[in-house]
Structure 1
Amino acid sequence: MPNIAFTEEEIKLLAKELTKIILPEIKKAITDDEILTFEQTCEFLKCNRSWLYERVRLKEIPHIKTGRYLKFSKKELLKWLEKHSTGMK
């Protein structure tokens, strides 16, 4: 298999184009606003627990606190992802 090299700018452009294609498909797949647990949110965002706890502590990510439990709206997470995606302003 040949080695293919991309510049950083080409990678960013490719990521931006893929996001334009994939994000609308994800949005279409979600008909109702699904509420996720902390663990489900880690899986959805493909992140570790400490990263998500830090985002919550700093109030950087939309979340709902019910007593000692954290919940997340999938619809709000998608909006947050779109807002924070590189080149997606």
Structure 2
Amino acid sequence: MIDISQLPEWAKIEIKKEDLLAFAEKLREEGIPGQTPPSKTEEDVFFDFLEMCDFLGIAQSTGYQRVSRGEIPHFKKGRRLYFRKSELLAWVESGRRKTTEDLNEIAEQYLRATKTGF
């Protein structure tokens, strides 16, 4: 095997197309030597429309309605829709309703802060 870094500056190398494609495929599979591949975070995960409907457990017609009304956060590139998993989770969590226990705690905090009691 030839160490390319040892070649003089004036040297030229001829590479066949299939060798270059094989090298690119190896880099894609194994990554760059000496570098740790970036880990996929939840933010990096994108769904297409059908995956989004499945993830949220809604019918496709409901999905189309909510997307067209701008209720579900999404990206549009050309005719395709993309949905980031973390944004879908945040959207679902934003609709959380307070429980009776939560409301009672808020009321108690308010009463303590205003120093009025019954």
Does the CA contact (< 8 Å) of 2:75 and 2:82 recur in 1? yes
User: Where does structure 1 differ by over 2 angstroms across 4 or more consecutive aligned residues?
Assistant: 85-88
- The CA deviation at 1:84 is 1.2
Which protein shows a greater Rg?
2
**Cα distance in 2, alignment partners of residues 58 and 85 from structure 1:** 20
| Structure 2 SS opposite 1:40 | helix
The one of the two structures with greater contact order (alpha-carbon pairs below 8 A, sep at least 6) is 1
Once the two structures are superposed, what CA deviation does each residue of 1:33-55 show, in whole Å capped at 9, x if it has no partner?
21000010011000000101001
Q: How far off is 1:73 after superposition?
A: 0.5
Match of 1:85 among 92, 96, 107: 96
- TM-score under structure 2 normalisation? 0.46
Residues 52, 83 of structure 2: 8 Å contact kept = yes
How far does residue 85 in structure 1 lie from its aligned partner after superposition? 2.5
Matched-pair contact (CA < 8 Å) for 2:47–2:84: yes
AA in 1 matched with 2:56: L
Aligned residues: 59
Q: What residue ranges of structure 2 are gaps of 5+ in the alignment?
A: 1-39, 100-118
Counting aligned pairs with the same residue, the percent is 41
Corresponding residue SS for 1:84 = coil
1:50 to 45, 52, 61: 61
Q: For the residues of structure 1 that align with 2:52 and 2:72, how far apart are their CA atoms?
A: 11
**For residue 72 of structure 2, what is the amino acid of its counterpart?**
I
Unpaired segments ≥5 residues, structure 1: 1-29
